[in-house]
Amino acid sequence: MNGAQTIVKFLQSKNVEHAFGYPGGPVIVLYDAIYEAGFPHILTRHEQGAAHAAEGYAKATGKVGVMIATSGPGSTNLVTGIADAYLDSVPVLAITGAVARNSIGSDAFQEADINGIVQPITKYNYLVMKPEDLLPSLEEAWNLTTEGRPGPVLVNVPKDILTSEIVGCTTSECGYIRHRPAKTRTDTHREDVYDALLKSSRPLMIVGGGVVISEGASGYLKTFIDKTGIPCACTLMGKGALDEYDPKNIGLVGMHGSPQANIALGKCDLILAVGMRFSDRVIGDPVNYNKKQRTIIHVDLDSAELGKLVKPTIAIEDDAAEFFKQILEGLPETDSSVRWKEWFEDLSHRKDRYDTIKEEMYDPDNGLTPQYAVHAVSKACKGSDPILVTDVGQHQIFAAQHFKVESPRSFITSGGLGTMGFGLPAAIGAAVSSPDRRVILFAGDGGFQMTIQELGLLSKLQCDLKVFILDNAALGMVKQWQELFFNKRYSQTTMDNNPDFIKIVEAYGLNGERVRSTEEFDEALNRAMSEKGPYILHCMIEGNENVYPIIPPGKQNDEMVYPWEDK
């Protein structure tokens, strides 16, 4: 076999169901091998679309998402998606072509040092310079994507390696052994955790994306919550780790989190943080945050996160599922309903108040607001456990606040990087991964136009994907910051020449309609949900709606700003 055939056979051996990519000169031989083998490849309309689709596939399934691109601009177009996957711990494998080995470093046509470019945004990356290194590099790269904290790995293959006969090492046993999984340490700190919980009068659990991606962790979390009665908040990436209909789930924490969750974070005397990073969007300024006296138990698979921003009292380097499993084994019996009764009742009261405020937001007399649209879709989907996907911006936070997610791996968004344009290709990738589940996408008018060409892919695949474009004719989140913190100096945030999205949708052979009122929206939503396949609603929403609560820059979690009277 040549190098191209070796790559295809390797992917087949790993039971890769779908790869997303875009061909080009140096990888023509690879695409010829794909054709010859009948390998399941999906042609996106842009390499960035391939990267985000691979992310969506991986986030929805936990399996490795595979992307393929040619050298130079093909590989550099993957960079945003690779960086996005790195910050959100998504297992993706990028296979790129490179110019021939004798041309590397000569500024040859379509040459770019992709290995140098992605060095800080991959777990590891490979430039294959010997035919006998191809398969071992692929094998180790595959293992690295999911080993320990998941993340992206890139394998860059010169075009003459793709055409070369592969001799020497041709079995997976030849893989390099450079990396070792982290040691688990929960057992050495178990009694310390029990002791800290028993001493606490105002405990709070915060779960992040690490709980979502850890196999079985969500079930163990539910058992732990039920046994202890500890209130639980989630980060944006942790949404779905605990059913949002569970009364112990007090909601999203952080910059746009719920009042009850942020007040709990400000007033608690103990934090049990599992699989989260204490990012600036959760705690604000870590210097000010570290001044507060409280017990912090931080559990994370990546030792680099322990103590990086917040100094923990107890640091545990472990997988989330393993942590909960071991903690549950010897959990002491305690009447938490008595111990934490006053604390939990206070948070429950605040939660009830916030739920009442949200119900007022859903009043159809307020017009077609983003809150109304998101809630209506959530209500229509209740009990069906759909996959919710968002692009990035105000609509992303409205979706996080007002759409209730019922299970892990059912909320897919760009968290760490905040990539506009993520939504549509990621939603397609999620739909490809789970053909029996409905996928819901909320996108803004700005981000949707960044990868709008992937409507061509949606038209080809005919996924059961419902797209809601929330059009406020603005780059909403930036405009909100300009309004609140820059004296309403709206610089370059007005989108006053948005296209007729439905004409574009129809040009791709897809169905959709524009709505301007709550009545039109409700009728269109029924039509969209009643049929199988893609449907796009262009929603002309109220343009002055802002996301609240919001924690202003430099403020703490219990210093939220919101426009309603607190009761």
Whether 173 has a pLDDT exceeding 80, the answer reads: no
Residues 6 or more apart in contact with residue 261 via CB below 8 angstroms: 233, 250, 251, 252, 253
Contact 336, 245 (CB under 8 A): no
Mean pLDDT, residues 466-470? 98
Name the pLDDT band for 182 (thresholds 50, 70, 90): low
The predicted structure's pLDDT at residue 219: 96
What does the pLDDT look like over 340-395, one tens digit per residue?
889 999 999 999 999 999 999 999 999 999 999 999 999 999 999 999 999 999 99
371 catalytic residue (yes or no): no
In order of their start, the domains of the chain are 3-174 (3.40.50.970), 186-348 (3.40.50.1220), 368-540 (3.40.50.970)
Give the whole-number percent of the chain exceeding pLDDT 70: 96
3-state secondary structure at position 375: helix
- C-alpha dist (Å) from residue 360 to 72, 305, 366, 517: 52, 40, 9, 17
User: Which of 286-300, 316-330, 417-431 comes out lowest in average pLDDT?
Assistant: 286-300
1, 110, 129, 404: which is the annotated catalytic residue? 110
462-476 mean pLDDT: 97
Q: How many CA atoms lie within 13 A of 37 on its CB side?
A: 20
Kindly tell me if the per-residue pLDDT of 422 is higher than 60.
yes
Instruction: Choose, from 39, 47, 371, 560, the residue flagged as catalytic.
Output: 47
What is the model's pLDDT at position 133?
93
Computed over every residue of the chain, the mean pLDDT equals 93
Tell which wins on pLDDT, 432 or 288.
432
CA R_g for the chain: 24
Question: Using CA atoms, how far apart are residues 85 and 416, in angstroms rounded to an integer?
Answer: 9
Per-residue pLDDT, averaged over 45-59, amounts to 98
> In this predicted model, which residue has the larger pLDDT, 159 or 287?
159
Tokens of 320: 């989330």
**Percentage of residues of the chain with pLDDT beyond 90:** 86
Measured in whole angstroms, how far is the alpha carbon of residue 92 from the centre of its chain?
13
Angle 434-439-442 (CA atoms, 0-180°, nearest 5)? 145
Check if the beta carbon of residue 126 is closer than 8 Å to that of residue 186. Answer: no
Mean pLDDT of 18-28: 97
Which run of H or E residues covers position 387?
strand 387-390
- CA-to-CA distance for 62 and 213, rounded, in angstroms? 7
The reported pLDDT for the residue numbered 167 is 79
Find the mean pLDDT for residues 194-215: 95
Contacts of 342 (CB under 8 A, 6+ apart): none
Does position 170 have pLDDT exceeding 70, yes or no?
no
Write down the catalytic residue from 159, 222, 325, 351: 159
pLDDT-derived band of residue 339, with 50, 70 and 90 as boundaries? confident
pLDDT digits (tens, 9 = 90+) for 120-141: 999 999 999 999 999 999 999 9
Does the structure show a pLDDT above 50 at 111?
Answer: yes
Q: Over 50: is that where the pLDDT of 150 sits? A: yes
pLDDT score, position 291: 83
Q: How far apart are CA 89 and CA 409, in angstroms?
A: 13
Q: For residues 46 and 183, which has the higher predicted lDDT (pLDDT)?
A: 46
Please report the pLDDT score of residue 171 as a whole number.
54
Output the pLDDT for position 567: 42
146-166 mean pLDDT: 95
Compute the average pLDDT of residues 537-564: 90
Q: Considering the entire predicted model, what is its pTM?
A: 0.93
109 counts as catalytic: yes
86 pLDDT above the threshold of 50: yes
110 catalytic residue (yes or no) = yes
Could you tell me which residue, 170 or 143, shows the higher pLDDT?
Answer: 143
Q: What is the 3-state secondary structure (H, E, C) of 392-459?
A: CCHHHHHHHHHCCCCCCCCEECCCCCCCCCCHHHHHHHHHHHCCCCCEEEEEEHHHHCCCHHHHHHHH
Burial 19-46 (b: 16+ CB within 10 A, else e): bbbbbbebbbbbbbbbeeeebebbebbb
User: Would you say 560 and 266 are in contact if contact means Cβ atoms under 8 Å apart?
Assistant: no
User: Is the predicted pLDDT of residue 204 greater than 70, yes or no?
Assistant: yes
Q: Is the dihedral of CA 405, 408, 411, 414 positive or negative?
A: positive
Q: Looking at 17, 109, 359, 486, which residue is catalytic? A: 109
Exactly one of 477, 480, 521, 556 is catalytic; name it: 477
Can 215 be counted among the known catalytic residues?
Answer: no
Q: Tell me whether residue 437 is exposed, middle or buried, using C-beta atoms within 10 angstroms of its C-beta: 0 to 12, 13 to 18, 19 or more.
A: middle
